[in-house]
Copies of this chain bind each other. A is one copy, B any other.
Amino acid sequence: MKKALAFDIGGTKIYSTIINENGEILAEIDKFATPKSLDEILDILSNQIKKHENETDIIAIATAGAVNNENTGIVSSTGNMPQGYNKIDFQSLSKKRVFVENDANSAAWAEYKIGASRGTSVSVLLTLGTGVGGGIIINNNLLKGKSGAAGEMHFKMYPDKRRKCTCGGWDCFEIYASGKALKIDAEEMLNDKNVTTYDVVEGVKNGESKMIEILNRWQNDIATGIKGLADIFDPDCVVLSGSMAQFVDIKKVEEEVNSDIVTPPTSIRLATAGNYAGMIGVALLAIERGL
């Protein structure tokens, strides 16, 4: 059975493990805080690769940032990563093939192969975390676009430039649907710069009506974005993953979405492939397409 040495490289943590062609995690997961410099990131990767490449058939890297259509490098800049990260020549790290894919695309693939969107023809995955990622699968293919950057969840929520997104653009879905967005909603609605996402979530648990109002606003923005994706893709399902997904009332969002779209109803689902979906997805992609 084929095996991949899989990494998940994000702005906060780098994970590595070994995954087989069934998506099973075979080795303990190594975890590193993402260093501030490019050289230190390269050190972590090459040490892990030296240690494990002989036991595996391919190197599979899920990463922040849009990845090109050749699955070899990064297309766009990645705000959360050290400068120069988007110029890494991943292939130079190993004599084995190094297969790279965007982390949300990878997670979408994991959900499609072993998780919540298994057996569907068209599915959209949203990762709701500090930011928002997206991965779209159409008839057994990841939607990649002309340069590999498709699935960016930066479509606009207002046409009149109200809230700056972390990407530098205006009013992107990400800045209304992310964890950061929930904090901004709370800041605006409470007129308090120090309120945290945690405060909102705890307040909701305690039945505080203002906090419920804030969460509902955030949830309504998520539903609004999903309506658009539903009308554009007519998907079997939209899968929500990431640390913020647990705070979404899935049934309520599904009802709201299906009450205000022109395509036939879609289903909203929580992700089931787990926290390592990125590594599982990129390992499965690498074994299937990179070997």
Contacts and interface: CB of A to CB of B under 8 A. Distances in A.
A146 B264 contact: yes
A264 B149 contact: yes
Given A159-B157, A159-B224, A234 B152 contact: yes
Contacts of A221: 159
B152 A76 contact: no
Nearest to A124: B232
Contacts of A234: 66, 144-152
A33 interface: no
B138 A120 contact: no
Interface stretch (A10-18, A39-47, A255-263, A279-287): A255-263
Nearest to A174: B262
A156 B263 contact: no
B263 A150 contact: yes
A122 B149 contact: no
Interface in A62-121: 66, 75-76, 120-121
Interface string A144-180: 1111111111111111000000010110100010000
Contact of A262 (B139, B146, B154, B261): B154
Total identical chains: 2
A176 B195 CA distance: 36
Nearest to A222: B159
A32 B253 CA distance: 44
B235 A159 contact: no
A143 interface: yes
A213 interface: no
Contacts of A183: none
Nearest to A158: B158
Contacts of A122: 145-146, 150
17 contacts: A66-B263, A75-B264, A121-B146, A136-B232, A145-B234, A146-B264, A147-B263, A149-B262, A150-B263, A155-B155, A156-B224, A156-B227, A158-B159, A159-B224, A169-B227, A169-B261, A228-B228
Interface of A: 66, 75-76, 120-122, 134, 136, 138-139, 141, 143-159, 167, 169-170, 172, 176, 220-221, 224-225, 227-229, 231-236, 260-264, 266
